[in-house]
Structure formats: C-alpha cells, structure tokens
Amino acid sequence: MIIIMCLLLGVVIALALPFTFSSIVSKFISVGILAALDSVFGGLAASANNSFKMKIFVTGFFGNALVAVLLTYMGSLLNIDLTIAAIVVFGTRIFQNFAILRRFVLERYMSKKETKNL
C-alpha cells in the first residue's frame, strides 16, 4: 500500500517538475537507476529467502547508486566507458536475483498445489 503510494508520488513529482536532465547528467543517472534497481531486486530475493535486513537494503540502495555514479564520473574523467562495467555487473545481478525470486515463487506455488492434492 505505502509502497504503491510512494511510487505514484515519485512519478507525480517528477512529472510536475519543469526541468529535465541534460544529456551528460542523464548518463550518470541511468547508471544510478540500474544500481538502485539491482538493490530492489536483491531486496526482493532476500525477502524470499527470509534473509532480508533493512539496514543492508537501504545502505545497498544508496551506496550502490552512489558508487555507480562515481565510477561513471571517474570513467568519463579517464576516458574509459565504465558505464559498461556497471551495466554488465548490475544487469547480471538483476537476472540472478530474478532467478532466485522466480524459483521461490514457483516452489511455493507448487508446494501449495501438492498440499491441496494430498
């Protein structure tokens, strides 16, 4: 409930603001978003495993995003496209976390079915 409300609120605020990011800033933000998404999927996977810890989730969310942005910035200073590193790492992890989540959901669904059949 509160999660959906917050999501909607974020969208509304963003739409209401009159300015947009410049193309340079946009590059960093995109990597930051990827890192944040990775944290969210990590959090979901952890909660599926019952190993979800709030502090780890929140620090991971902000920390990953910050580090990803800093890394990209450093890459732009050194003329290395470190966005690729961030994309590969976070992309892989998002898929892994999604796989964990998928397995968890499927297993729970199947076990429910089995209990019904018994």
Name the residue type at position 29: I
50 interacts with another protein by CB under 8 A: no
DSSP H helices, 21-82, are 23-48, 54-78
Going 85 to 73 to 55 to 94, the CA torsion angle's sign is: negative
Query: Considering the rule CB under 8 A, would residue 77 count as an interface residue with another protein?
Result: no
5 binds another protein (CB under 8 A): yes
Closer by beta carbon to another protein, 39 or else 97: 39
- 8 Å CB contact between 82 and 74: yes
Residues that bind another protein (CB under 8 A): 1-3, 5-11, 13-15, 17, 20-23, 25-26, 29-30, 32-33, 36-37, 39-40, 43, 54, 57-58, 61
